Each structure stands twice: as structure tokens, then as C-alpha cells.
Amino acid sequence: MKSNKIKNIVVCSLFGAILLVMFALCILMPKPEYSESERRKLAELLPLTYENVESGRWMTSFDSYSTDNFPFRDEFRTLKAIVSTGVFSRLDNNKIYVADGYAAAIEYPMRDENLVRAAERFRNVYNTFLSESNNVYVSIIPDKGAFLAKENGRLSMDYDAFEARMRELTSDFSEYVEISDLLSLEDYYKTDTHWRQEQITDVADRLLSAMGKSPTGEHKTNELDYGFHGVYYGQSAMPLPAETIYYLTNDALDGCRVCNGDKVSFGANGELMMPEMPMYDMELGHGKDPYEMYLGGSLSLVTVENPAVTDGSHLVLFRDSFGSAIAPLLCESYSKVTLVDIRYIQPMMLGRFIDFDGADVMFLYSTLVVNNSETLK
């Protein structure tokens, strides 16, 4: 009986202490505005006004705010991930799984309607701006799951069927360039969705060859002096080590002039004016998403002019974020490359900024974007 009494005292004291200490910490601990690991702005508390209370908005905001700003949030999320996968043997945590040291998202099933939509978006660009004088290419970048999911018992799309379907849907206006056979798991970052620039020179050569251009030259491999935790690091909440970002340079790339089309303005005579930007932005490399160092990351319009190629060749590359890392390598064989991301710009506006006359055009998209093509405009 005595031992029961002691146990009950311990149980009551611990429960009371946990509630009160955590309550005090909830009130007193500093509230960060941004979660580095999750790469998102944390919920803010709405002002305590009659309107906000009566409408329930304040309560809703408090729910999100108190959860987002809970003390030791990252540690608790890691604990949840470990319990979920370790104790309950769940195969994924919030649709993210870690296998062979690589974190990836479950991308399943193949959504045919989205493939059709993506092909229609591409065809829309072709019908609006292009003609038979343009050489048009389509290429699909398989996501990491193509090399990781099936082998590790996760749901996996039929990537061959995916490519075949996209080839079929776009064959009337473009030539399909296959690159999946050149890729393997090691070509991707362990904690991020993206591929590694230093690993994809063969892919760039295959694309250039298909477009009748000479392959890329020799490169110097440079290391970013900043640990890289990719997007899956925060989403999985698993304790994964930081990686190193590498970027390639050579004389031709060093001599390129890169301009940011998102900050476009018009001169006195109506000429387009775009501010210059670095090809590899070290500031962004040390920022929230270091992968944005490649050509500024998620920009709708970027131009790269290469004075080393003087034949006036022009490549218009419709791309997603994977394209940012490979575009510098493609620049080596063109006088000019224009990168367009139609997730962020209406294609109808492109005629104002891009001269498509005689240009090679490539639609280079990852399976992640094509399979979720609601984002394409």
C-alpha cells in the first residue's frame, strides 16, 4: 500500500509538473517566425479582437500557433518520426521515407490526367509561339523514387510507362529525349528532391547531342562551404547528416552573362532591361534553400548569354527546379539560353520577352511536376 501511495504521488507530481512547466515554456520561450528545418513560415497569432474571436479565426489561429511554436518542436517531430518508423514500423512518415540513407517522397500513383494536362500545356506553347522552323524536344527527369521506391518496398510508379505516355502525348510536335538510362540513385542528393550538378554532365551531353550541339567541356568542381539539408530533411524529421553542394565552373561558364527576367523593366525606347545576376549565387547558397544558388532557384524567367558561342543559337528551356542545375551546362553550346518556368509565369505573356524565331525549344520537367501538373499555367 505504501509503495502504491508513493507511486501515486510520483504520477500526480509528474503529470502536474509536465503540464505546468510546458505551459510556462509555451508562454515564455521565444517564438521563431520561420522554421529552418521545415522551410516554412510558422503560424502567427491573430490579434485578439472581438471580430476575430466571434468568427472563431482567433481560436483557429491559436491552434496552429500553439502547435507551430511548441517548445522543442523539431526534437518532438524527430521523436515522432522515430516512433512512427521504429516502433510502429510505418513505411513512411508523412509520405516521406528513408531507405539506403536517402530520403524520398512517395510519388504514387501515376496520374494520367495530369500527364495529359502537362502535354496540353506544352502543346499550348507550341501552338502559340512555335512553328516547324523550331526544333522542339521533350525530356522527363525521373524523381529519386524511380531508383529507390520499388527496391525498398515502397509504392512506385511504372516509370517506363510514364515516359512512354509522355512520349506518346507529345510526339506530334516534339522529339522525345530519353535520359533516365543515364541516371542512378547516386545522382541525387540524399535529403533533397534534386539531382546533383556534378553528376549530370552525361545527361547534359545527351540533351545537347539530341539537339545537334557539341558536348560540354571540362569543368572544375567547386564545393559550397555550407552544409546542405534538403527539403526532405525537414519533412521527414529524421536525423540525417548534412550534405555538400558542388557546382561546376569553367572559362566558358565564367564568361556568361546571366540576367534575372523576374525583375524586367523597359528602357526609353521600349527595349527589355534585365538586371544581371550571378550564375551561382553564394548568398542564396547560404540561405534557406541552398539549392537555389543555381541560377537563382525558382525564377520564372532567366537568360544566359554565352559570348564564347557566336553562332546566334538560342535555346528556350521550359523547366522546373531541376533545370536550374543543368542549364549552365547547356549554356556552353548555345549563344543564348532562356529559362522559363511556366509554374510562375503565364505562357501567353512570353511573346513579350522571348524571341522564339529559329530557337531550339526544350521542355525539361521532372516526374514530380508532370505528375502534379496542376501547378503548370
Partner 1 sequence: MLFSSIPFLYYFLAITILLYIISPKKLKNSTLLLCSLFFYYWGERTYTIIMVVSILFGYVFGLLIERYRETKAKAPLTAVSVAISLSFLLYFKYADFFIENFNAVTGLSVPLLNVVLPIGISFYTFQIISYTIDVSRGERAQKNPINLGAYITMFPQLIAGPIVRYSDIDRELTTRTHTLDDTAAGIRRFVFGLGKKILIANQLGELVSAFRAASEPSVLWHWLYAIAFCLHIYFDFSGYSDMAIGLGRIFGFHFIENFNYPYISASITEFWRRWHISLGSWFRDYVYIPLGGNRCGKARQLFNIAVVWFLTGMWHGAAWNFIVWGLYFAVLLTIEKLWLLKYLKKSKVLSRIYVLLFVLISFVIFNASGMAEAGSDLLGLVGVGKSGMLPLVSAEAIYNLKSFAVVIILGIIGSTPLPKRLAEKFEKGEKTRVISNIAEPIVLVALFATMTAYLVDGSFNPFLYFRF
Q: Shortest Cβ distance from residue 239 to partner 1 (Å)?
A: 14
Q: Is 14 helix (H, G, I), strand (E, B) or coil?
A: helix
Q: Shortest Cβ distance from residue 167 to partner 1 (Å)?
A: 23
- Judged by CB under 8 A, the chain residues 138 through 167 that form the site for partner 1 are 153-155
Task: For residue 264, state whether it binds partner 1 (rule: CB under 8 A).
Answer: no
N-term to C-term CA, the chain: 72
Q: Shortest Cβ distance from residue 59 to partner 1 (Å)?
A: 5
Q: Which is nearest to 304 in space by CA: 341, 336, 274, 272?
A: 336
Task: For residue 91, state whether it binds partner 1 (rule: CB under 8 A).
Answer: yes
Binding residue (CB under 8 A) for partner 1 from 56, 267, 270, 312 = 56
Got the DSSP string for 247-287? EEE-HHHHT-EEEEGGG-EE-TTS-EE--EE-SB-HHHHTS
Distance (Å, whole) CA 142 – CA 194: 10
Distance (Å, whole) CA 89 – CA 92: 9
Q: Shortest Cβ distance from residue 44 to partner 1 (Å)?
A: 15
Q: Shortest Cβ distance from residue 320 to partner 1 (Å)?
A: 24
Binding residue (CB under 8 A) for partner 1 from 115, 169, 237, 258 = 237
- Window contacting partner 1 (CB under 8 A); options: 91-99, 243-251, 296-304, 364-372: 91-99
What are the strands, taking DSSP E only, across the chain? Answer: 34-35, 40-41, 96-99, 102-105, 136-141, 175-176, 220-223, 246-249, 257-260, 265-266, 272-273, 276-277, 301-305, 314-319, 336-340, 360-366
Question: How many residues form the binding site for partner 1 (CB under 8 A)?
Answer: 48
Task: For residue 59, state whether it binds partner 1 (rule: CB under 8 A).
Answer: yes
Binding residue (CB under 8 A) for partner 1 from 62, 173, 226, 353 = 62
Sites of contact with partner 1 (CB under 8 A): 3-12, 14-16, 18-20, 22-23, 26, 53-54, 56, 59, 62-63, 66-67, 70, 73, 76-77, 79-81, 83, 87-92, 94, 108-109, 153-155, 237
